[in-house]
Structure 1
Amino acid sequence: MNVVFLSPHFPPNFWPFCVRLREAGHNVLGLADAEYDHLRPELRQALTEYYKVGDLHHYDELLRALGYFTHRYGKLDRLDSLNEYWLQTEARLREDFNIFGLRPAEMDRFKRKSVMKQFFQKAGLRVARGRVCKSAAEVQDFIDEVGYPVVAKPDIGVGAAKTYKLTNDEELKHYIATKPPVDYIVEEFIPGRIVTYDGLTDLKGQVVLDSSLEYSKGVMEAVNEDSDIYYYMVRQIPEDLREAGKKVVETFGIRERFFHFEFFRLEDGSLVALEVNVRPPGGLTVDMFNYANDMDIFREWANLLTYGEVREKPTYPYFATYVGRKDHIPYRRSHDQVLAEFGPLIAHHEPISGIFSGAIGNYGYILRHPELDTLLAAAQAIQERA
């Protein structure tokens, strides 16, 4: 199989996907704008060939690159980056080279939050009331209908970038004056905890691996307040969450892809569907999955492409927690003190790339333990202020 991997060096912890593909016997064809010598050695060794373009945003350069790969290796079987940012570019390339996977005609339901709502409702799931508002009058009309607070966010956007929570008329005026010149969707504020349903589907759209995250706070709050966050992977996925997630997979038609779905869990225990992402969950979450299950999700993805199935299923023997810290926050414990005090719990730690640091911190720790209370106490201690 000839697999084109767009931007194989970023996110920086995704390089094992290419390594496992090559170990499975596939041609792994890297395509990016980074210098070849700047790729980590393990990634360079995994690539059958690397094609450097001047800028990944220049579509004509990508066309030439895939034309070269086709001439050199024959039919291209798969193309991916597992990165939300390149989703539309991937879809265009698949269309132009007749490669299996998501195509441009499917993008609206995966990129536009307003269209996601329609598909959630088709799946029989509850959603927050929301509307794309293109004028100040439309925003005011919506607020008059649902009341404060409301959340305004780009209809097409990644993460919580440029997201506003509006609680009064002054904040509304600030939003109108400062919002970027793109379509925004305004939604009623839902007072619930964010929970996720994450996983991987096979060619038939069956979920073959899954997991779930719960957060100490919303990512929007962490970004807007420039505060820190922790989140953990559960050992037992609630059945109503799994059922809702599988309805989303079926309704959205997600085949042979990772997914990351977000829901609100309300105080009464019910779920409200929030957002769909057809990529692995961000940050170090794929690594958390591996530590929580003593397995290799990178290899299982390669197994799925190679054999049409995964060879190992998660058993969830541990809770895994990600704990982020930000450089500007004065913490009670230094990094060395964290390692000394919580070393037996810490499975991994590393600096976080700047593009993710606003959401999940400048430095991250992955902790694991069979008991959640042990991890939560450690997470709170690691983030304790001086």
Structure 2
Amino acid sequence: MNIVFVEPGFPANQRRFVLALASVGANVIGIGESDEYTLDDELRDAMSGYYKVGSVTSVHEMTEAVRFVQSKVWVDRLEATVEAHTMPAAQVREAAGIPGTSVRTTWLCRDKPSMKQALREAGVPTAASTAADHAHEVWAFAESVGYPLILKPRDGAGAKDTVRVDGDSELSHALTDFGSHGSTSIAVEEFVEGHEGFYDTITRNGRVVHDWTTHYYPNVLEAMRTRWISPQFVTTNRMADSDFYREVAELGQRVIEALGIETSATHMEWFYGPKGLRFSEIGCRPPGVGCWDLYSASNDVDVYREWAHIITYGMPEHQMRRPYAAGIVALRPTANGTIQGYSGIDEIQGRYGEWILDGHFPPQGHHTQPVEAGYMANAYVRMRHPDYDTLRGMLDDVGQTITVHAG
């Protein structure tokens, strides 16, 4: 199978998808923005060809590049795994007659108000929401729904630029901020109280082949705005034993069908609280922040290779038997500035060495990243354990024991 892969060299994790495709026997042709000579030998060897463009988000340039490839070989698939690349890739697929995720499905997975409207029409429980092009529309929605509200870019990913407002003054300030950043249209949503997690899948022809359910501790907005918290996300190995996890999986399948997702990785956020299980949003692409590394470790299966096998052959190579739960704990620097050192690492290694997957500790003198930059922006530790509750306690202990000294 001949597969065109969008931007194999950046960000760094992209190479994992290319290597996985090559490992299952796919013929991979890369299109990216880097000069080919800057790619490492292993990555270059995994591709039979490479085409440089000025921008992988330029539909014109990408279409020209893909049509050039089509003049040499039959192209079976065009794959993009970065959120910002998904819409140009969908438009190029339709222009070049290549099967894959459609422009309509990509739009519904990126434009949050349209996404939620389509899902409400399909009977999927979700928060009230609207798309607002003018401030008066936001104020009208606030009057109708009440506070708290969530404001975010219509096509944003994760918690980036997402704000919660609890009253008129906060709403006025938030609208001013969005305007100052050039936002002409935003998504406004009812705040859904409850615990937050995500449900990730790899689908084939609209049916889930592999899936994983993961919990945030605490919820993302709080985690990304509070320095003293060492936030975690933990993927469970109890999916087969819980009515709740079956409900999450059923919700996910309904969303996939309603949005017309065929063969793709997906990343779906959900809340569970007083109003029950509620869908939040979905991306028609793999999750970020190393989630697939945790899923691989929790199953002793290379999830990147599983994705490649499904894309190439339409079937899984292995099943997810879930012998372990796995998670990450982010370790925040004590202040913005530069890393001055660490304490507590030896104690944690001594207590839990056999269960530690890896850790990342930027060197002394390295500049810190802001709290809102995410779970892998500074130091972190990743672990696994056969018992979910035991793992949670271990991750808590890591967050309380290791200090990232900075200033």
Q: Using a 3 Å threshold, how does the CA distance of structure 1 residues 122 and 147 change in structure 2: closer, same or farther? A: closer
Following superposition, the deviation at residue 350 of structure 1 comes to: 3.8
Residues in 2 aligned to 1:381 and 1:162: alpha-carbon distance in whole angstroms: 30
> 1:245 — aligned with what?
252
1:358 aligns with 2:373: yes
Structure-2 residue corresponding to 1:280: 286
Counterpart secondary structure, 1:114: helix
Kept in 2, the 8 Å contact 1:333–1:384? The answer is: no
Deviation at 1:232, TM superposition (A): 0.5
Counterpart CA distance in 2 for 1:334 and 1:76 is 52
Report the alpha carbon displacement of residue 211 of structure 1 after superposing the two structures with TM. 0.6
Deviation at 1:80, TM superposition (A): 1.1
Q: How many matched pairs?
A: 383
On the 8 A contact 1:128/1:190 being kept in 2, the answer is yes
The residue type paired with residue 308 of structure 1 is G
Query: Which range moves more in the overlay, 162-171 or 30-39?
Result: 30-39
Is 1:178 matched up with 2:177? yes
Cα distance in 2 for partners of 1:67, 1:129 equals 42
- Partner in structure 1 of residue 49 of structure 2: 49
Q: CA deviation at 1:328?
A: 4.7
The aligned residue for residue 3 of structure 2 is 3
SS at match of 1:171: helix
What letter corresponds to residue 239 of structure 1 in structure 2? R
Deviations 1:135-164 (A, max 9, x none): 332222222222221111112211112111
For 1:340 and 1:136, the matched residues in 2 are separated by 56
Distance 1:61 1:355, change over 3 A: farther
Is the contact made by 1:283 and 1:356 (CA closer than 8 Å) also made in structure 2? no
| CA–CA distance in structure 2, aligned partners of residues 172 and 356 of structure 1 | 23
Given that 1:150 and 1:187 are in contact with CA atoms closer than 8 Å, whether structure 2 keeps it comes out as yes
Shift, 1:299, TM fit: 1.8
Three-state SS of the structure 2 residue aligned to 1:276 is strand
**TM-score normalized with structure 2 length:** 0.87
Cα shift at 1:192: 0.7
- Conserved 8 A contact 2:51-2:65: yes
Amino acid at match of 1:372: Y
Asked if 1:125 corresponds to 2:124, the answer is yes
- Normalised by the length of structure 1, the TM-score is 0.91
Report the more deviating stretch, 284-293 or 369-378. Answer: 369-378
- Residue 69 (1) aligns with residue 69 (2): yes
Which stretches in structure 2 are left out of the alignment for 5+ residues? 240-244, 363-367
Which consecutive residues of structure 1, in runs of 5 or more, have no partner in the other structure? Answer: none
Q: Of 298, 302, 306, which residue of structure 1 is paired with 2:304?
A: 298
- Aligned with residue 349 of structure 1, among 346, 359, 367: 359
| 3-state SS of 1:212 partner | strand
Residue 262 (structure 1) aligned to one of 257, 266, 269: 269
Residues 164-210 of structure 1: CA distance to partner in whole angstroms, max 9, x if unpaired? 111122211211211132311211211111122211111x2121101
Question: Partner of 1:373 in structure 2?
Answer: 389
Match of 1:169 in 2: 168
Which string of whole-angstrom CA distances, capped at 9 and with x for unpartnered residues, describes residues 45-95 of structure 1?
A: 2111122223333443323322332223x2211111211110111011101
Q: Which residue of 2 aligns with 1:218?
A: 219
Cα-to-partner distance string for 1:261-284 (whole Å, 9 max, x where unaligned): 11111146x201110111111111
- Structural mapping, 1:98-137, within 5 Å: 98-137=97-136
Describe the SS at the equivalent of 2:224.
helix
Report the AA paired with residue 235 of structure 1.
Answer: N
1:310 to 309, 316, 320: 316
Name the structure 2 match of 1:141: 140
Residues 108 and 183 of structure 1: CA distance in aligned 2, closer, same or farther (over 3 Å): same
Which stretch of structure 1 is more off in the superposition, 231-240 or 373-382?
A: 373-382
3-state secondary structure, aligned to 1:48: strand
Moved more, 117-126 or 221-230: 221-230
Query: C-alpha distance in 2, partners of 1:344/1:35?
Result: 41
